[in-house]
Amino acid sequence: MDDDKEFIEAIKDASDCSSATYAMKLFARMLVSKSFSQPHVVWEATWEYLTDDILYKKRRENGQPDMNLTIEKIKNIALTEIENHLLSNGCSLKKWPHMPKPEDFGSYNGNRLIDDDLKYVVEDQLKENERLMAMITDEQRGVYEQILDAVLNDSGGVFFLYGYGGTGKTFVYRALSSAIRSRGMIVLNTASSGIAALLLEGGRTAHSRFGIPIDADEFSTCKKMEPGSDRAELVKAAKLIVWDEVPMMSRHCFETLDRTMRDIIRSSENKPFGGKVIVFGGDFRQILPVIPGGGRAETVLAVLNSSYLWEHCKVLKLTKNMRLLAGLTDDAAKELQSFSNWILDIGDGKINLPNDVAGLPRHCLKLKVGAPIMCLRNMDVADGLCNGTRLIVTQLLPHVIEGRIITGNKIAGHPVWIPRMFVTPPDTKFPFRMRRRRFPVTLAFAMTINKSQGPTLESVGLFLPSPVFSHGQLYVALSRVKSRSGLKILITGKEGKTQTKTLNVVYKQVFQNIP
C-alpha cells in the first residue's frame, strides 16, 4: 500500500533547514512526479510548514510590521505560488480534483500557459538582443535574418540549423528569442534533453512541452494537446518553435508533433507543423536515437533525416568556430583550430584513435556530504533539476537529500531538496511493470558518455576499458573540451594493458542526404 507519511516527513525536513518557499517547491515537485497517493491529505498535514514565512514576507513587502492575514488568505497565497510553479512545469492543480484551489482559480478565463510565456519584459529583451547583435558573426547573421524574416512575414517554414560544437547554435537561438520576445510575441524553446533545455531561456524538454509520448510510433499524437486545450492554444499562438539536439531523438517524435499541429491548426495549405516556423538544431556526428535490439540500419532509419519531414527542412549550416574569435594569440588559435578539425574528422569517421540500459537505478545508494551526484529524472526543469543535472550533497536528512546545483550558469549554486520518488523502468519484457520508491540520483565522480552530451568542460579524463559501441559516442566524449590540453585518454585492453588505438563507430549513411 502506498503511504504518504514519508513525503510528509520529507517536507518537514526541508522546512526545518530551509525557507517555506523551498518547501513549497518541493511540494509542487512531488505533485508533478505523482509521488502522493492523496495530495489533499499531504497538504492538510503540511500547509503550516509551507506557509510559515508568508506573513513575514508580506509585512516586509508592504512595509507594515503590524499587518495580519487570515489563515485562509495565507493558504490562498501558498496555493497560488504552488499553482504558478506547477504551470512552469506544464501542470496545474486542476489535475487533482480534491486539492484546494486558489480563490481566483475558477474565475480566471485566460490561458495561463500563454500568460506565462508573455511575462518577458520587452525592454529587457530588446537590450539583450542589442547586446547579442553586437557580437554576431556574418555567418550567424545570415541564418538569423532568414529565420526572423520567416517569422515576421508569417510565411512558415522548417529549418535545420546544422553545426558542430562551438559554432554558435545556442547563440543564434538566444538572438532569435530575444528579437521575437522584444516584439511581444511567443517563442517556445525546447530541447531533446533537460540539460540542453537549461541552456535556453524558458527552455523545456520537448516531451514535457508538447506532451509527446516516450514510446512514440507512427500512430502517436501529443498527449493533452487536443484542439481547444490550453497547450494547443499556446502552440497556435507561438511565432517560433525551437527544438535543439534533435539527432538523438527518434523521427517518430517529430512526426507525432507534426500530426498533432496539423490537427489543431488546420491550415488549408496543409503545411508541415501547420505552417509554423520550426527551427531544429543539432549535429549528426553526435549520438543517435537508441533503438533497443536494433542495429545500424534500424538506427539510421530512426533519425530525423530519414523522415518524410526532412524534404521540407531547409538546412542552414554554421561552420566557423566562435572560440577562434575570442582574442586568442596566433599560436593558440592554430592549436584550437587543429584540435577542432581533429574532432570533426573523428565525427566524420575519417580517423580512428591511436549506452546506458533503461531500467531501475542501483538499489544500494551510498552517499556522504560533499559527494557529487547526478539527477536521473526530469523532476523540475523550470528550476534546473533534470536528467543529467549534477549536484554536490550538502546535507543528508532522514527523508530528503539537500544538494547544491553545479550545472549551468544561471542555476549553479542553487539549493534543492530531492525526496524519494517512484521509479519505473520505461520498458520491460515482463507482463507487468515493476516500481520502486528511491532517490532518483546516482554518484557522479564519473559519468557515461551518453550522460556527458551537452555541457562543455575545462578538462576531461576519458577511460575506455572497452571500445565505444554506438555512432557518435567517441565524438561526443572528445568534444566536451575546448582544447587538446584539457583532454586525457586511457585505453586498456582485455588484460588491462595500456593501448594507443580504439574503435571509432560512425554510421556514414546518416550524412548522405545532408546538403
Cβ burial of 66 (10 Å; 0-12, 13-18, 19+) is exposed
Tens digits of per-residue pLDDT, 169-178?
999 999 999 9
Would the pLDDT of 264 be above 90? yes
Taking each continuous run of H as one helix and of E as one strand, the counts in the chain are 17, 16
The confidence score (pLDDT) of residue 342 equals: 65
Q: Of 246 and 356, which is predicted with more confidence?
A: 246
Tens digits of per-residue pLDDT, 404-415?
988 765 667 888
Asked whether 171 and 351 are in contact (CB, 8 A), the reply is no
The confidence score (pLDDT) of residue 355 equals: 39
Model confidence at 274, in pLDDT bands (50, 70, 90)? very high
Same-domain check for residues 67 and 137:
no
C-alpha grid cell, residue 236: 497556435
Name the percent of the chain lying above pLDDT 90.
39
Model confidence at 356, in pLDDT bands (50, 70, 90)? very low
Instruction: Give the DSSP per-residue string, 94-140.
Output: GGSTTS---TTTTT--S-HHHHHHT-S-HHHHHHHHHHHHTT--HHH
Same-domain check for residues 461 and 351:
yes
φ, ψ dihedrals at 390, nearest 5°: -100, 140
Model confidence at 1, in pLDDT bands (50, 70, 90)? very low
The confidence score (pLDDT) of residue 421 equals: 86
Domain of residue 231, CATH code: 3.40.50.300
- Considering the entire predicted model, what is its pTM? 0.84
Would the pLDDT of 120 be above 50? yes
The confidence score (pLDDT) of residue 386 equals: 82
- Quote the number of domains for the chain: 4
The confidence score (pLDDT) of residue 331 equals: 67
Would the pLDDT of 328 be above 60? no
Cβ burial of 258 (10 Å; 0-12, 13-18, 19+) is buried
Same-domain check for residues 19 and 140:
no
Q: Among 109, 128, 146, which residue terminates a domain?
A: 109
Nearest to 290 by CA among 232, 248, 339: 248
**What's the mean per-residue pLDDT of the chain?**
85
Tens digits of per-residue pLDDT, 94-111?
889 999 988 876 555 677
Domain contains 71: yes
Same-domain check for residues 104 and 215:
no
Asked whether 461 and 471 are in contact (CB, 8 A), the reply is no
Q: Of 480 and 220, which is predicted with more confidence?
A: 220
Question: What residue numbers bound the domain in which 222 lies?
Answer: 117-320
The confidence score (pLDDT) of residue 65 equals: 84
